[in-house]
Structure 1
Amino acid sequence: MPRKEDTGPKAYFPGPRSENESWVRSEFQAIVDDWFDWRRGTRPGDPAAIGAEERLTPGFLVERERTAQALAELMALLRRETPTYSPRYAGHMVSELSLPALFGHFTALLHNPNNTSREVSKVGTVIEAEAIAMLAEMIGFDPAAARGHFTSGGTIANFEGVWRARYRLDHWLALALWIAEKTGETLDLFAAAHMGWARFSELVSTHNPPAAELRRASAVAGNPADIFRRIGAASGQEYSGPVVLVPGNKHFSWQKAANVFGLGEEAFWSVGLDAEGRLDVPDLERRLVEAAAAGRPVLAVVSVAGTTETGEVDPVDTVCDLLERLQAERGWRIWHHVDAAYGGFLCTIPGGPYESVLSTRVREALRAVGRADSVTIDPHKLGYTPYACGAFLARDADRYAVSVFDAPYLERPHLARDLWSATLEGSRPASGAAAMWLTGRTIGFRPDRFGAILAGTVRARQTFQEAVRTALPEIRFLEPADSNIACFSLAADGEALSSANRHTASLYDAVREAGEFELSMTTLRRPGQSAQIAAHAARHGLEDDDDRLVLMRGVFMNPYWSSASVSERLVPEFVNALRRGIEAVGT
């Protein structure tokens, strides 16, 4: 276990009491000094645009004062902002910023490169490529082969995965449709939609289809309604479009994707969860077989490494095993996207000195993330990076390929010099890439470095749970916990679940009103999370009489919990705050 006295993490964060203030001030001053020197040193012979005398005129001074007053007002307003840097804050997936990320973000912010093009971002685009390689290696991709880019967050990164999965499925199906119509052979819809690039290239070589005709056979490039009709005629069964298989613990971004990509919410098929709240692999296989029988190609299978509600890590390794078996047995090449927006950085823990903080099952799941086709990561969560910073990673160039609007349909671009045509967002800042680049160059994404920090947060959650279990037996934890998130309810022995839900909501209100610590609240609901709700009720001897489970939620991602002074002082205070809340509820 990481020792509470470890000093490494303390050198990489500002400190909840501004302990590293003098150092941070000096680095910020150095950044600003360098920025001004850069501006002065560029084209020194050019004329000044703002003269010294002009800067002393009454009008100029008035404008400066107006700006200073507005800035002072803004700073005063922001002093009332939620202090998410404090270890007392355990409400949502936001915490302290690391100093390397903050310095990198601020430096790039001043230079303001736009990573849409190397013409306006000669350095920013290089930094992005190097940072993506660091993250790729961290999750288990070959950094030399992997591709990716930074996004505004996990939602857009998930969209990027859907876009690329749709790109390849559409190419495979368009070719198969064109061949079926040309030869008169019956279209094997499901097999065609999952044929793979090797088979695609072989068929292109054999049949030599004109790119323009393939484009007219594409549901993306052509008229979807007409293409669906043609596919139905060629296959002998009505075609209703592809589906995406997403576990019941899915993030809200997947409903957004259904809307944005015009798939319809019906196309997002839910995969059942097991009694511990993770994707149920037997149900995934059942749904895949069901999709094949219905003639609904599978655009992608999604698994989650670190759910937003309770922090569970799906059995990514077992999902990979299933999809690889189906490819070997049936020839189905099905895209697997891992939504690791929250848990991606936990991949730094396995294989290191602190891996025992995670269960064997979670370690194996995290080790398998690199077997997926694409992955979403949010550095602005467990990467301790300023908002907004997400990342999309693909295992290789083939998987990164996506539509290029001014290229022939047959062309499969791997990595253009400028990424604007290969990213959903056009203009993209380099600040997130710089934050991750400097984090990788300083802390490093190794098990004994970044992994040590995150292992400390998992241990903080464990320490909290141990203390609460000892002092407050009426607190009932959701088990097992996979990461650094602790969820719990308030219930007496034999209490009805409906009553416990009311008491838990009241406890949350009492703790929030007291204001000593900040937690959040989440609700598991039937039917999607039925097994998990039933397991929680049975484990704690509750009468299962409700269709929901109300939980308080503590996200122990703050790095300061690893400090002995913080843990020894605040854990008992946290327990006492809960005790006073329970007394106020009067169960």
Structure 2
Amino acid sequence: MTLGTRDLPAHGIDSAGWFPGPRAEHAAWLRDALARSLDTWSAWRRDAGAGDPSVWPDGQLPDDQHEQIDAALQTLARRLSGETATFSPHYAGHMVSDASMPALLGHVLATLHNPNNTSKEVSRVGTQIEAEAIAMLARMIGFDPAHARGHMTSCGTIANFEAVWRARFRLDHWLSLALWLAETQGERLDVFAAAHMGWPRYHTLRERHAPPEDALRAASAVAGNPADTFRRISRASGREYLGPVVMVPENKHFSWRKAANVFGLGEEAFRGVGLDAQGRLCLKALEHEVEKATAQGRPVLAAVSVAGATETGNFDPVDGVCDLMERWRRERGWRIWHHVDAAYGGFFASTLGAGATALSDVAASALAAIRRVDSITIDPHKLGYTPYACGAFLVRDAQRYAVSSFAAPYLERAHVSDDLWSATLEGSRTSAGAAAVWMTGTTIGFTPDGFGRILENAVEARRAIMHAAMKACPDLRLLDPCDTNIACFTVARTGEPLSVVNAGSEALYEASVQGGRFTLSKTHFPLSSHAGQITRHVEQWGGDFDADGLTVLRCVFMNPYLERETMRAHVVEDMVTLLSGAAPC
């Protein structure tokens, strides 16, 4: 089938037109655009080096080396032709699709110039572009771009680490001051209250008591000796101090387990917060875990909620967590860091503000509440449709951006806002991701009628495709809820045991991997953490519980070409063929 004008969306905005096309329909234009970019880059080099002698004054360029490069390039091109065709509308396996043409062009052009965003000394323009791109993302998620701070990272994992780093910086400052005061004044240390005192009280106490800087550093578990600091806290509080904890929902990304290892907190310190029957963070469970930490004298370094879970794309009640934080601050004086892992779902914020949205009410409320949190992770290389690797970390204001400072004598800096090397976990950072985001925001726009339309189409495609697939295959059981553009499902006949259904999911996945035209993925939900959601799902067909978890098939419908109804029909046909081939529909 071909894509005709009758296939254009009724609203008249051709969202798919921002992308290269599933059959490289925009190849000629893209080639010209790249050539123009290369011409500009070449002119820049000629102008910048106008006073220098030529390396090849006689004009004889090393053609033999050109031939070697070309031969290797052709070999690489042939090899990459065997790569996974994630640009295809028939690919729904993971959180990856075609990159947009603005993002591709921005990425390539910035790579040609190769600025290192570690410092303005080597990235005069790249750092400006990054600041402008961060402001665009801040505006999209509801932060005030005039006050928000942040930077690009290589991925969401590093962005999550950035949140832990800053939350630890804040908690450690408050607790070290309280420890010094307790020791010098002979008072009992309330660890939990001290570790959440807030900056206003911290600054008031510092001005009143003027503690020596070296004494505060010695009382710090970060700047001093952590083992000695823990012993001192134990003596001052009258109970053994075991360190802070981090509240992370059971649907957490694997990066949080890594964070426990990297920051030396120990996996035990990352407390799993129970999920409700819909697989979202349970607010009562969060309250219970915080109360338990209070009773144990273990401060909460951060509480995490998820906006777009990796497996399902679903949203935790971010607004509910914000309400809890505000109540604790109002009633108990606690300031607990709230981080939102929106690596996948953050870009759905672009759909808000234009009346009705294709998102669930829970997702819309969660996105609207992000403006109230301390920090957020968002990945442009997922639903931002930029090339890898491009993550982003943002905080609400400069105070929340503060981290431990380090000296690097070979890099001069006037202040941290000019040179980010001391405020980022990564040292050298490419500006390619920032340029890709900048190009995307400048052209498509992170607005409801721009980028929001692309993501609305993705959610609508998920609904249409799954509806058609369920109509053709009555035994297809959709995992509820579906907040966004990800669909998880099983194929189960009435009364079929869970173990048999799980085996069927494994078989269907293998059939997809072994050359099926339609590509999907799978995931497994343990009964220990997802009991309520699994129970609700199995009740659809009245199956027996004879397994310790649920294995589901997973489709990520983020391909921009699924805006076209004819393309959706192709995908439904191939999806049903896959399902009927390995399991009776």
TM-score with structure 1 setting the length? 0.95
Q: Which amino acid aligns with 1:330?
A: R
Would you say the 8 A contact 2:231–2:241 is kept in 1? yes
Partner of 2:73: 71
SS in 2 for 1:393: strand
Partner of 1:397: 398
Structure 1 CA distance for aligned equivalents of residues 288 and 117 of structure 2: 43
The Cα offsets for residues 51-96 of structure 1, whole Å up to 9 and x where unpaired, read as 44542xxxx3332222211111100000000010111110001101
Structure 2 CA distance for aligned equivalents of residues 318 and 464 of structure 1: 32
Residue of 202, 209, 215 corresponding to 1:200 = 202
Residue of 91, 101, 106 corresponding to 2:108 = 106
Structure 2 CA distance for aligned equivalents of residues 258 and 50 of structure 1: 55
How far apart are 1:358 and its partner, in Å? 1.2
Structure 2 CA distance for aligned equivalents of residues 361 and 297 of structure 1: 29
Partner of 1:33: 39
Question: Which deviates more from structure 2 when the two are superposed, residues 313-322 or residues 7-16?
Answer: 7-16
Q: Which amino acid aligns with 1:360?
A: D
SS in 1 for 2:514: helix
Partner of 2:55: 49
Structure 1 CA distance for aligned equivalents of residues 416 and 315 of structure 2: 31
How far apart are 1:406 and its partner, in Å? 4.5
Question: Which deviates more from structure 2 when the two are superposed, residues 513-522 or residues 374-383?
Answer: 513-522
The Cα offsets for residues 196-239 of structure 1, whole Å up to 9 and x where unpaired, read as 00000000011001111100000000111100000000011100
SS in 2 for 1:356: coil
The Cα offsets for residues 31-61 of structure 1, whole Å up to 9 and x where unpaired, read as 1111111111113121011344542xxxx33
How far apart are 1:7 and its partner, in Å? 4.0
Partner of 2:21: 15
Structure 2 CA distance for aligned equivalents of residues 46 and 575 of structure 1: 64
Structure 1 CA distance for aligned equivalents of residues 289 and 279 of structure 2: 18
Question: Which deviates more from structure 2 when the two are superposed, residues 355-364 or residues 14-23?
Answer: 355-364
Partner of 2:429: 428
SS in 2 for 1:527: helix
Partner of 2:513: 512
SS in 2 for 1:172: helix
Go from structure 1 to structure 2 and tell me whether the alpha carbon gap of 1:582 and 1:51 turns closer, same or farther (over 3 Å shift).
farther
Question: Which deviates more from structure 2 when the two are superposed, residues 247-256 or residues 35-44?
Answer: 35-44
Structure 1: gaps spanning 5 or more residues: 408-412
How far apart are 1:400 and its partner, in Å? 0.4
How far apart are 1:415 and its partner, in Å? 4.4
Residue of 166, 174, 183 corresponding to 2:168 = 166
Would you say the 8 A contact 2:247–2:300 is kept in 1? yes
Equivalences for residues 44-443 of structure 1 within 5 A: 44-55=50-61, 60-353=62-355, 355-406=356-407, 415-443=416-444
Structure 2: gaps spanning 5 or more residues: 1-7, 409-413
Structure 2 CA distance for aligned equivalents of residues 3 and 222 of structure 1: 61
Question: Which deviates more from structure 2 when the two are superposed, residues 4-13 or residues 63-72?
Answer: 4-13
Structure 2 CA distance for aligned equivalents of residues 359 and 345 of structure 1: 15
Q: Which amino acid aligns with 1:268?
A: F
Structure 1 CA distance for aligned equivalents of residues 92 and 309 of structure 2: 16
Asked if residue 467 in structure 1 is aligned to residue 468 in structure 2, the reply is: yes
Structure 1 CA distance for aligned equivalents of residues 22 and 64 of structure 2: 37
SS in 2 for 1:368: helix
Structure 1 CA distance for aligned equivalents of residues 212 and 462 of structure 2: 59
Would you say the 8 A contact 1:278–1:312 is kept in 2? yes
Would you say the 8 A contact 2:344–2:382 is kept in 1? yes
SS in 2 for 1:357: coil
Go from structure 1 to structure 2 and tell me whether the alpha carbon gap of 1:316 and 1:414 turns closer, same or farther (over 3 Å shift).
farther
Q: Which amino acid aligns with 1:128?
A: E
The Cα offsets for residues 227-274 of structure 1, whole Å up to 9 and x where unpaired, read as 000000001110000000000010000000000000010100000011
How far apart are 1:573 and its partner, in Å? 3.2
Structure 2 CA distance for aligned equivalents of residues 414 and 319 of structure 1: 35
Would you say the 8 A contact 2:488–2:553 is kept in 1? yes
How far apart are 1:533 and its partner, in Å? 1.4
Structure 2 CA distance for aligned equivalents of residues 191 and 406 of structure 1: 32
Would you say the 8 A contact 1:467–1:575 is kept in 2? no
Would you say the 8 A contact 2:496–2:541 is kept in 1? no
Structure 2 CA distance for aligned equivalents of residues 119 and 228 of structure 1: 41
Structure 2 CA distance for aligned equivalents of residues 248 and 129 of structure 1: 34
Would you say the 8 A contact 1:93–1:381 is kept in 2? yes
Partner of 1:445: 446
Partner of 2:9: 3
Go from structure 1 to structure 2 and tell me whether the alpha carbon gap of 1:461 and 1:414 turns closer, same or farther (over 3 Å shift).
farther
SS in 1 for 2:529: coil
SS in 2 for 1:384: coil
Structure 2 CA distance for aligned equivalents of residues 19 and 191 of structure 1: 61
Q: Which amino acid aligns with 1:209?
A: P
The Cα offsets for residues 439-463 of structure 1, whole Å up to 9 and x where unpaired, read as 1111000111110100000111111
The Cα offsets for residues 549-570 of structure 1, whole Å up to 9 and x where unpaired, read as 0111000011110123312333
Question: Which deviates more from structure 2 when the two are superposed, residues 422-431 or residues 10-19?
Answer: 10-19
How far apart are 1:530 and its partner, in Å? 1.9
Would you say the 8 A contact 2:302–2:339 is kept in 1? yes
SS in 2 for 1:80: coil
Partner of 1:557: 558
Would you say the 8 A contact 2:416–2:422 is kept in 1? no
The Cα offsets for residues 393-419 of structure 1, whole Å up to 9 and x where unpaired, read as 000001000111359xxxxx9943200
Partner of 1:455: 456
How far apart are 1:185 and its partner, in Å? 0.5
Q: Which amino acid aligns with 2:344?
A: Y
Q: Give the percent of matched residue pairs that are identical in Structure 1 and Structure 2.
A: 58
C-alpha RMSD of the superposition: 1.6
Q: Which amino acid aligns with 2:29?
A: W
How far apart are 1:290 and its partner, in Å? 0.5
The Cα offsets for residues 145-184 of structure 1, whole Å up to 9 and x where unpaired, read as 1000000000000000000000000000000000000000
Structure 2 CA distance for aligned equivalents of residues 358 and 87 of structure 1: 21
Structure 1 CA distance for aligned equivalents of residues 523 and 531 of structure 2: 15
